[in-house]
Amino acid sequence: MKKVYANAAEALDGLLFDGMFISSGGFGLCGIPELLLQAIKEAGTKDLTFASNNAGVDDFGIGILLQTKQVKKMISSYVGENAEFMRQYLSGELELEFNPQGTLAERMRAGGSGIPGFYTKTGVGTQVAEGKEHKEFDGETYILERGIVADLAIVKAWKADDTGNLVFRKTARNFNPPAAMSGRVCVAEVEEIVPRGSLDPDHIHLPGIYVHRLIQGEHEKRIEQRTIREA
C-alpha cells in the first residue's frame, strides 16, 4: 500500500467533508500537525468538530481554522492561549466540551482500541459529570466516559519509515499516539522519512498499522511561553 504522499493537500484528498469529526494531536504548540491543518484551511472544509488537547494560538494550530469560522465544536482540555477561541465561545458561536486531559487521552486510546467506554473517578462531583452515568466500584463513585472514534486523525511525528511506523519526540508523544489511534483514517506529517528497517523496533512509538497516509515537510518551531532571566 502506498502511504507516502507529496504534500498535505494530496494526503487529504478524498478524506475531507463538511461536518466531519477530526482527532488532532499536539500539546501546547508541540507536535501540532500544522501542515495538515493549513491544508484543511485551504480546502475550506467547514462545520468541523475537533478533539484536541488545545486549540493552538490565534495564528497557529487549530487557531487558524477558528479565524476562518471552519470549526463548529471543540472537545478539549486547555484553551487558555487562544483569544479568538474565547471570543467565539463566550458569544455562542462555538460549542465546547471540556475534558480533563487524562480523560481525553484515554477516550482517544479507548476508541482506537475498540473500547466503547470506561469508568473514571476524574470529574465526579463537577460539571464534567453532568448527564453521565454514575456507578459505584468498591465504595467509590465513577462516571462513564465514551471512547472517541473520529472520521479522521491528523498527527505530527519526528520520524517515520515508509510503512508509517512513527517515532515522536518528548512532549509530542502525549496526545499524538492516542489521537492517531482514534481515527478511522490517520494522516501523519513528519520531519523525516527514513529507510525501511532503519528504525529500532523497540523505539517505535506507534505501529504503522494505524497510519494510512504520510507526508514529510518543514515545520515551524514555536515557543508557547518564552521566559527569560534579566541580565
Indicate yes or no: pTM above 0.75: yes
Average pLDDT, the chain: 94
Tell me the per-residue pLDDT of 42-63, one tens digit each, with 9 for 90 and over. Answer: 999 999 999 999 988 888 999 9
Tell me the per-residue pLDDT of 17-45, one tens digit each, with 9 for 90 and over. Answer: 999 999 999 998 899 999 999 999 999 99
Q: Which domains does the chain have, with CATH numbers?
A: 8-115+147-216 (3.40.1080.10)
Residue 222 has pLDDT above 80, yes or no: no
Q: How many CB atoms lie within 10 A of CB 132?
A: 16
Q: How many CB atoms lie within 10 A of CB 107?
A: 25
C-beta of residue 134 within 8 angstroms of C-beta of residue 124: yes
Residue 127 has pLDDT above 80, yes or no: yes
Residues near 112 by beta carbon (within 8 Å), at least 6 away in sequence? 147, 149, 178, 180, 181, 182, 183, 210
Q: How many CA atoms lie within 13 A of 43 on its CB side?
A: 21
Q: What is the DSSP string of 99-148?
A: --HHHHHHHHHHHHTT--EEEESTTTTSGGGTTS-EEEETTEEEEEEEPP
3-state secondary structure string, 23-80? EECCECCECCCHHHHHHHHHHCCCCEEEECCCCCECCECCHHHHHCCCEEEEEECCCC
